[in-house]
Chain A
Amino acid sequence: MSERRDITLNINGTDYTATVEPRRTLVDVIRDDCGQTGTHIGCEHGVCGACTVLIDDEPMRSCLMFAVQADGRRIRTVEGLAEGEKLHPMQEAFMQHHALQCGFCTPGFLMLAIGVLEKKPNLSDEEIVDVLSSNLCRCTGYENIIKAVRAAAAVMRA
């Protein structure tokens, strides 16, 4: 039963090959095998959302998938948001609105918000709160995260 599989994950446009046991979760492989540690692990049972990444542009919990299931899929993580020195409007907005304190939940919130807004650019303020209730933050009380996402949504629409 100690079978291992060769897989290729395309993360932010770069192919990473890894040989993994099927039981390894996607987030563990993204972090440990591919070295992309911007995606965080907060609970490993799908509640906190710190590990949220975009898989084929859909936000998903990378702790609730096995890496073998993502073989050949296109994954986007927080490391891929900025273009060189130019930050994504969502990253800019988080900084401007003080939407992070410890910053641990931030990559998950960024990927969640960007993933949803790319598909639904015209979300109402209430719908934004609804989406953001997917992830947990223990520092900010969410107020500034909500403000930042509303502001970034306007920039992304423009």
Chain B
Amino acid sequence: MPFKPFFTALVKYVNSLSETVAISAQRMKPARFSYHAPRSVGEAVALLAEFAPHDGRVLAGGQSLVPTMAFRMAQPAHLIDINEIAELATLQVVNETLKIGACVRHNAFDSDDVPGVTGALLRNVVGNIAHYPIRTRGTFCGSVANADPASEWCCVMAALDGVAVLQSGRGTRRVAAAEFYRGIMTTSLEDDELLVCCELPMLAAGTRTGFIEFSRRKGDFAITMALVAYRIENGKIVEPRVAIGGAEAHARRMPSAEAVLANATPGNVSFVKAAEAAAAACDPIEDLNNTADYRRGLVRTLVERALEAAA
């Protein structure tokens, strides 16, 4: 089924039978809901346990959920607004792990708050996320939970093997990015679970990173993006990471491309081979204006350019 870049939400909230009908149905004011604004994670999780079975949902930055509600494609009966939970607004490095609380806004990464290579990478990526006034409100964890195929943070999580920390009345579990994403805007997050935190590794000093995305218009969801990281030891590439986003149902690492790079000499030859491997291995989604072939071509181009940018 084709999907539309911004409103991939269509796919999630509207079943295929009535999809096209829903597109033209005209709604622009949200339906009624009950509003809850817990002050602690415990309270939030308790509310989720109570209301998730009754169509309750978490509201974080709201930059994707609110328009979806305006279109009445989402009509949750209860909204549990986590923005007032102070403990979720923390961004800290603990034991070489960056812990990103559920209420940390995108623009927190547009600063020197996060040190090291990981901080530099996130600073590089964040400017690609929508636009400034969206970044002041939208959250890192919200993007990860929403799991849009073209989410930059989802690509970062995949590339760096981030971990999603999920909490519910049933306890807390930690899910690696590779297991977290299930499909287009589909994750292993259960209805009663709150994504309280995302964890990213602090990359070793000397790690080189590159991120490139392509969209027709600045700030739009990318048609395809590529994120790479590697170190060089004795003139050879070590610990290569190559991830793509936007091209497939969800962001993921590309093992075949990484295999090409491991222990290879950095340079045009290995970069082109790795890019070709990524293009060959990917299973692109299609939409109205972007065929699978086109996306595959972009994967090749962007992986190569990300590798060059990192070099």
Contacts and interface: CB of A to CB of B under 8 A. Distances in A.
Interface string B52-87: 000000000011001101110000010101010000
A131 B71 CA distance: 27
Interface in A117-140: 130-131, 133-135
B4 interface: no
B132 A116 contact: yes
A60 B137 contact: yes
Contacts of A44: 28, 67, 70
B131 A133 contact: yes
Interface string A1-36: 111010000000000000001110100000000000
B63 A112 contact: no
A66 B63 contact: no
B127 A130 contact: yes
Interface residues of B, number: 29
Contact of A3 (B35, B70, B71): B35
Interface string A37-68: 00000001110010010000011110111101
A84 B219 CA distance: 37
A130 B136 CA distance: 15
Contacts of B33: 1, 22-23
Given A59-B133, A130-B127, A133-B218, A46 B32 contact: no
Contacts of B127: 130
Given A49-B133, A112-B133, A134-B131, A65 B66 contact: yes
Contacts of B28: 44
Contacts of B77: 1
A58 B67 contact: no
A49 B66 CA distance: 15
Interface residues of A, number: 31
Given A46-B63, A133-B219, A52 B133 contact: yes
A49 B130 CA distance: 12
B29 interface: yes
Contacts of B219: 133-134
Given A1-B77, A23-B29, A66 B134 contact: no
Contacts of A134: 131-134, 219
A44 B72 CA distance: 12
B297 interface: no
Interface string A106-118: 0000001001100
A1 B71 CA distance: 19
Contacts of A68: 35, 37
A5 B219 CA distance: 35
Of B30, B33, B136, most buried by chain A (CB within 10 Å of CB) is: B136
Q: Nearest 5 CB-CB pairs, A to B?
A: A134-B131, A22-B35, A45-B67, A58-B136, A59-B133
7 contacts: A3-B34, A3-B35, A25-B66, A45-B67, A46-B63, A63-B70, A112-B133
Interface of B: 28-35, 37, 62-63, 66-67, 69-71, 77, 79, 81, 83, 127, 131-134, 136-137, 218-219
Given A5-B35, A69-B83, 8 more contacts: A1-B32, A1-B77, A23-B33, A25-B29, A46-B63, A46-B134, A59-B136, A134-B134
Interface of A: 1-3, 5, 21-23, 25, 44-46, 49, 52, 58-61, 63-66, 68-69, 112, 115-116, 130-131, 133-135
